[in-house]
Structure 1
Amino acid sequence: MAAELTAPSILGFPHRPQWGPGAHRKALAGHLRRCRDHAGVPSRRAARSIAASESTLSRMETGLAPLKQSDIEQLLDLYGVRDPRERERIALLTHEAAQPEAWQPFAHATAPYLRPLLTMEPAARRIISYEPQLIPGWLQTEEYAQTVIRAAHPTAPAHEIAERARLRLQRLQMLRRPGDAPVLLAVMDSEVLRRQVGSPGVMFRQVQYLLDLLDELPFQLHLRIAPLEAGAAGAIGHPIVHLRFFAAEYLPDMVYLEQYEGALYDEKPANSERYLAVLNNLCGVASLSQHTRSLLTEALTYWR
């Protein structure tokens, strides 16, 4: 009886298609690993039961490999998971995990290093981002995005640049979701508003778009601007994104550290908390959200 009481359960992770297949796959993968640990089944034996290698099982247990219903059923039998409610929820999550990702229609124009972030951000309860050079990608207009992408990829064909820009616009739709939309707290350096991307007209329309978004999404979008006077507190040269998820018991915090033509991801709790402290420090030196509108209005006048 004690073993049953302490057995891992997936019932706390709800079926939420709007969170995306990646979140369901990751939650289910971690649950399978916990079930194996609880049953005391060695990885070699578990892999053999589904005619797979240990490395394949490891990828399944970290959400990096597809999860087949037949394999999962065999593993659950091996791990002694008999509860019909657990099995039913696992089947539902497995079906959801197999659905296409929101970015897949743009796959050929999506950088591989960005895909894990695109996969997981729809399941975020809260996103904190810092951007030292540009308007954050979620908040860019199409023409601003195209200008930025063209500068980074000058030889890319026009249709690929256009698709990459459309993907950036599509990402914002998660903030418009009814019910459980993420909250985005975006911090950017004040110089971003004075750094010309494209023509002055592009900048004017971009700043006006930010003002419009603040009106449209007063509860889901919080924008703060860090002044140059922030000094060392704001001297971080690369974008940082910290995601905290719904159903956090099953989905650990994720940190995204962007580099030139690449990115690092970190889910270790100690590192996640360290970067969260960095972002909280940046929020502390940035303007309060209620002052952002006046700073944007000043920028609008600058580009008029």
Structure 2
Amino acid sequence: MAADQQAPSILGFPHRPEWGASAHRKALAGHLRRCRDHAQIEAKRAARCIDVSDAAISRLETGLATPEPAKVERLLDEYGVRDPAERARVAILVHEAAQPEIWQPYAHATPSTLRPLLAMEPAARRILSYEPQLVPGWLQTEEYARIVMRAVHPTRPAKEIAERVTMRMRRLEMLRRKTDPPSLLAVMDSEVFRRPVGAPGVMYRQIEHILALLAELPYRLRLQIAPLTVGAVGAIGHPIVHLRFFTPAYLPDMVYLEQYEGAVYREKPADSERYQAVLNNLCGVASPADQTPSLLREALDSWR
């Protein structure tokens, strides 16, 4: 170990319960991995230290396992972490990592492929989204969401559909919280507002809802509409969500790529930069955000 190599610190990651368990678990996972590397201890030795398998250490260091307080304490001892402030912050992260996830009350109705996005988005500083077919989930009305859910899952029981809708409605609340709410920049295909979802009144009320949200959250919500004349937009046929967090040193960007029956996540820096460039390009060709209210009012007139 180089004498001048600085020991990893977790003090830069704040205690923010509103960010959710996954954010704390991921930050802790990366910190434990860095501490082990700094101590020049192999994963096998760390596993023996707490009587677990090599695979269990891997899950712990990637945030896939909920850490046990006693085992984390033993790892800190093994890694030579003595600073009381560091250990106290780790203990806080361990506690928060064990709390219920936001989706857990609706676990049987929440697809496993969507859970990582739901779990991490409350910790985001900025959410960048592209939606080619539908109104983004954060902005949907309850009736719009119910019709969409039923169309995608025609055989699901009514109770499950209702719980999925409730979960979707809850996602907007993070934009309304008083402490460090995320900002949402959404880009939508203009055809979303021409595509019937339910009766005409459903679309009318949906557009009214978005206009109200833009007025309510002017500094947290920005919406851009990509016109049909921009042919490049149609080449991207699936939704994309790019999350950037308040603490990038501890939480790397996350990219969510939605598919019909699943999703793909990307967290490598090269992938994040690539999709960031794709979304930036979409923002560049879409109508400016200050034109969105007038475009929405035009769409509203068409549904009268």
Deviation at 1:179, TM superposition (A): 2.6
In structure 2, how many angstroms separate the alpha carbons of the residues matched to 1:3 and 1:132? 53
| 1:264 matches 2:271 | no
Question: Is 2:35 the counterpart of 1:35?
Answer: yes
Change (3 A) 1:4 1:167: farther
Q: Residues 4, 67 of structure 1: CA spacing in aligned structure 2 closer, same or farther, 3 A cutoff?
A: farther
CA distances 1:133-161 after superposition (whole Å, capped 9, x unpaired): 00001100010001000001001111111
The structural deviation recorded for 1:234 is 4.4
Q: What's the counterpart of residue 124 of structure 1?
A: 124
Aligned-partner SS, 1:13: coil
Question: Residue type matched to 2:103 in 1?
Answer: W
Counterpart in the other structure of 1:20: 20
Residues 138 and 3 (structure 1 numbering): CA distance in 2 closer, same or farther, change over 3 Å?
farther
Render the CA deviation track for 1:147-205: whole Å, top value 9, x for unaligned.
00000100111111111011111001000011300000000100000000111011000
Cα deviation 1:246-267 (Å, max 9, x = unaligned): 1111000000000011000000
Task: Report the CA distance between 1:103 and its aligned residue.
Answer: 1.1
Structure 1 equivalent of residue 89 of structure 2: 89
Confirm or deny that 1:245 pairs with 2:262: no
The corresponding residue for 1:216 is 216
1:233 is displaced (CA, Å) by 4.3
Contact 2:226 2:233 in 1 (8 A): no
Spell out, residue by residue over 1:49-95, the C-alpha distance to the aligned partner (whole angstroms, 9 max, x if none): 11110011000000001100011001001000000000000001110
Give me the whole-angstrom Cα distance separating, in 1, the residues matched to 2:205 and 2:164: 19
Q: Which residue is 1:151 aligned to?
A: 151
Counterparts in 2 of 1:128-139, with a 5 A limit?
Answer: 128-139=128-139
Q: Which runs of 5+ in 2 are unaligned?
A: none
State the one-letter code of the partner of 1:89. R
- Give 2:29's aligned amino acid: A
SS in 1 for 2:114: helix
Cα distance in 2 for partners of 1:3, 1:191 equals 61
Q: Find runs of 4+ consecutive structure 1 residues off by over 3 angstroms.
A: 1-5
Q: Measure how far apart 1:3 and its partner are.
A: 4.4
Q: Please tell me the residue identity of whatever aligns with 2:300.
A: L
Alpha-carbon distance in structure 2 between the residues aligned to 1:113 and 1:291: 35
SS at match of 2:252: coil
SS in structure 2 at match of 1:6:
coil
User: Any residues of structure 2 matched to 1:158-169 within 5 Å, and which?
Assistant: 158-169=158-169
> Aligned partner of 2:172: which letter?
L
Query: Residue 73 of structure 1 aligns with which residue?
Result: 73
Q: Give the partner amino acid of 1:15.
A: H
Deviations 1:99-144 (A, max 9, x none): 1011111111100000000010000000000000000011000100
C-alpha deviations, 1:188-234, integer Å up to 9, x for none?
10000000011101100000000000011011000000011111244
8 A contact 1:123–1:182 mirrored in 2: yes
Name the structure 1 match of 2:203.
203
Q: Is the 8 A contact 1:224 1:286 kept in 2?
A: yes
Aligned to 1:281: 281
State the one-letter code of the partner of 1:240.
I
Distance 2:172 2:247 in 1: 21
Q: Equivalents in 1 of 2:158, 2:202: separation in Å?
A: 18
Q: CA deviation at 1:275?
A: 0.3
Amino acid at match of 2:150: R
Amino acid at match of 2:52: A
The answer to whether the 8 A contact 1:190-1:225 is kept is yes
2:231 partner amino acid:
G
RMSD: 1.1
* AA in 2 matched with 1:126: R
Higher helix share: 1
Shift of 1:4: 7.2
Counterparts of 2:241 and 2:140, CA distance in 1:
16
CA contact (8 A) 2:189 2:233 kept: no
Q: Is the contact made by 1:29 and 1:62 (CA closer than 8 Å) also made in structure 2? A: yes
Cα contact 1:234–1:282 (8 A) shared by 2: no
- Tell me the matched-pair count: 304
8 Å contact kept, 2:174–2:182: yes
Q: Work out whether residues 233 and 281 of structure 1, in 8 Å CA contact, stay in contact via their aligned partners in 2.
A: no
User: In structure 2, what residue type is equivalent to 1:56?
Assistant: A
CA contact (8 A) 1:190 1:228 kept: yes
